[in-house]
Amino acid sequence: MENIEYEIKRAINHMMETNYPRKEFWNMDSKLPNLISGIRAGDDAVVVGNTVINMEGPYPLVLGSKTALIHTTCDIVAMGAPPKYAMNAIQAKDEQEIKMAIDGLKKQSLGLNIPIVGGNTQTLEELKSCMSVVVFGELPDNRKIIKDGGAKPDDIIAMVGHPVEGDTGTRIQKAKNKFDTFLELLNQGVEVNACKDASRGGWLCNLLEMLVKAKKGIEINSIPYPRATRYLGTYLVSMSEDSLKEAVNICMDNRCPIIPFGKITTDSCLSIGNKSYIDNEQMRELRKQFPYKY
């Protein structure tokens, strides 16, 4: 790993980015009677009734054509919902860029079986080329929402899935394998208490956010990936220790990587090996800085 103190500082700074918007929109949750999880939770997606919604971007157009739908879908599945359909918004400089963006999105749509049913496309010369995608999913009846802050003491934290990288086809294959495997874990009764996409900010940043929300700590006993601040596209899954063996069996059958690397603790410390990098008092101060409410 790179210098761990630097990576923790970077993780905290990344978490701070959403503080101002969240505070300004804090009271919006009360305006939607059937809102289950919104701006106050700060989770990976929003839940209205049994519909799970996530929007990502703007992506630079070339990157979005390879991964925008994939990345946006990650957060839908992380909360336990199979994705149903999507919409997009594209800013391009000319017809050639439009074709490139649409062809890439169509390939992702067909590979993931998520139809794109609408959106907006424009060519304004004064704007940079980019795209955003919104995905809608639906929670099955009687399935609890998998929140990113739901970790329980003695849970095992595991990284699940291949790093999502490579050309568009490879990214689709790796992402679909992760989506299908995670939904199968839930369908087979694996006790998953929390899940978060290891996205921008890296696995350490996203793990720290899970701990702040859960008011818990962790003892990390192995390193799932050496660059703690790199985008991976894998899942950080907090599951009961009793469910771990079944989860490994399911992942093995699906040829999906699973790497247990730590245990959740009641003590709110972040420890790696035999060294503590964030103690109880520091974790309490972090909790004061972030406006999350579960």
CATH number of the domain that residue 247 is part of = 3.90.650.10
* 127 and 163, same domain (yes or no): no
From the list 263, 257, 164, the residue with the least C-alpha distance to 207 is 263
Q: Are 199 and 74 in contact (CB under 8 A)?
A: yes
* 130 and 183, same domain (yes or no): no
User: How far apart, in Å, do the first and last CA atoms of the chain sit?
Assistant: 32
Is 0.85 surpassed by the pTM of this model?
yes
* 134 and 172, same domain (yes or no): no
Cis, bond preceding 163 (omega within 30 deg of 0): no
Task: Identify whether 65 is part of a domain.
Answer: yes
Task: Identify whether 147 is part of a domain.
Answer: no
* 109 and 52, same domain (yes or no): yes
Tokens of 4: 């761990």
Q: What pLDDT is stored for residue 159 in this prediction?
A: 96
Query: Strand locations in the chain, DSSP E?
Result: 35-37, 46-48, 51-60, 83-91, 116-122, 130-138, 156-160, 192-198, 217-220, 234-239, 258-265, 270-272, 275-278
Exposed, middle or buried, 124 (CB in 10 Å: 0-12/13-18/19+)? exposed
Q: What are 114-152's pLDDT values in tens digits?
A: 999 999 999 998 899 999 999 999 999 888 999 999 999
Q: What are 230-285's pLDDT values in tens digits?
A: 788 899 999 999 999 999 999 999 999 999 999 999 998 999 888 888 888 988 88
Say whether pLDDT at 287 is over 70: yes
Say whether pLDDT at 207 is over 70: yes
Average the pLDDT over each of 11-15, 115-119, 180-184 and give the range with the smallest value.
11-15
Overall domain count for the chain: 2
